[in-house]
Amino acid sequence: MQRIQDMLGYERLTQLLPTTKLDGRVITAILCGFGAGILLRKWLFRRQLQKKIAKAQEQRERLLEQMKAAVHRFKQKHPDIRAESILSLSLLELSEKLQEGTFSPENVLYTYMEQALKVNEELNCLTDFIPDCEEQLRELQKRKEKGLLYGIPVSLKEHYDYKNHVSSCGLVSFLGIPAKDDSVIVKVLKSQGAIPFVKTNVPQTMLSYDSSNVIFGKTLHPQNPKKSPGGSSSGEGALIAGGGSILGLGSDVGGSIRIPSSFCGICGLKPTASRLSFLGTPVPLPGMDTVTASLGPMARDVDSLALCMRALLCEELFHLDPSLPPLSFNDEVYASSKPLRIGYYESDGFSQPTPSMKRAIQQTKQLLEKTGHELIPFSVPRTEHMVYELFLGGIFADGIETLHDLLKNEMIDPCMRYLFRLSYFPAFVKRLLSFLLKPMFPRLAKFLDKTCGIG
């Protein structure tokens, strides 16, 4: 035994260790101090976030007051302007009157600014006013050539970069970083004579079908404030449906244009990926290449979407972003009255449609058949594989690690709380839960399995 103690350096070790027992009160004090330090650190961090949020809210209020003042000055100079004569027109009708000079861009811009402010008071859909729109208006009136969107006020989803304005994506960590330049789409809009004038609200991270974030709060539905307008192009859907914008630009990965358009009763288009440039349009989760997002227009009717796409798909766009296929809008196909063979389905075999959805499909089918088109029913193949393996598998390929790293330094909005909590679970725990839940809740089990990531 003595030899073993000598080999282990027993005597030297005992000299290093304390010879007296620690008092329980000392241990308690150390642990309490350690805990208090952690709580203090959390409190200081939360206070820092709250200061950034308060600053962003003050900035928004200041800009909206500036917007109100601009409208007031205009109305004092032009008291006879009839807003209804402008707001009641479709985009095509308004564009025609602007092109022929019946209406001035000035009258149209300030009319929509006033209406946007009214809608925002009820729905909380604006995050930013773009004062540069007044300077752009003056420059526009000096132009010799009118673009396809000459004099049209345009609203932008919050994450479209506009020089010297913040694109937060509903995240506190993105605040205080103004864009150094306009996004490519904003540049093209300006070149076509459009006037971007406001930016609109999004849910935190934009990975939600809800409409709230901790910075600007919740956007409400234009017909029922107890309901959501959908997301993530929440503010666009609410503002356009409320009459505060005649044309807006949104973005869509898994329904972010289509869902708020449907919920709010307007029209939206998700073009093929890479049809419109994403340059200058930040996203919170970069590198998501297997599930790609698209930018697209939102408006009151289909003809408005077509006009917007016709204007955007121009040489200026293809010059600014050479990675895009240089394909202009095909007017021949759009204007053709040739009967089409159109496939349709009432259920994708994965989620059951509500009775109203089925009724909408049937009514659309009947209307199309009356105009001479042939409607062919079909079954969507392998929907479950697409949802779990391709869509969720692509979004959560990293096991939600990027999202976790993004949100761990944020105040979490209720719309993201469930996903953030899930990101804390180790992969083996999620796989165990998936195995246990599979007999009773197979879809939830598959969802948990996909959040483990690849490998």
Question: Annotated active-site positions, please?
Answer: 157, 232, 256
Asked whether the beta carbons of 294 and 273 are under 8 A apart, the reply is: yes
Provide Rg for the chain, Cα atoms.
Answer: 28
CA nearest to 89, candidates 76, 107, 75, 72: 107
Q: Tell me how many degrees the CA angle 356-359-362 measures, rounded to the nearest 5.
A: 155
Sign for the pseudo-dihedral over CA of 194, 199, 205, 210: negative
**Distances from the Cα of 179 to the Cαs of 158, 182, 191, 413, 453, in angstroms?**
12, 7, 19, 24, 33
Asked whether the beta carbons of 346 and 379 are under 8 A apart, the reply is: no
Residue 299, beta-bridge partner list: 247, 267
**Distances from the Cα of 375 to the Cαs of 333, 334, 366, 380, in angstroms?**
19, 19, 9, 15
Residue 250, beta-bridge partner list: 296
Alpha-carbon span 207 to 231, nearest angstrom: 8
Alpha-carbon span 67 to 115, nearest angstrom: 11
CA nearest to 155, candidates 91, 123, 187, 112: 112
CA nearest to 251, candidates 160, 183, 119: 160
Backbone angles phi, psi at 213, to 5 degrees: -145, 165
SS3 247: strand
Q: Which residues contact 301 (CB under 8 A, 6 or more apart)?
A: 90, 91, 267
Q: Which residues contact 275 (CB under 8 A, 6 or more apart)?
A: 294, 313, 324, 325
SS3 307: helix
Residue 129 is classified by DSSP as E
Amino acid at 372: G
- What's the length of the chain? 455
Alpha-carbon span 139 to 188, nearest angstrom: 15
Q: What angle do helix axes 91-100 and 105-123 make, rounded to 10 degrees?
A: 150
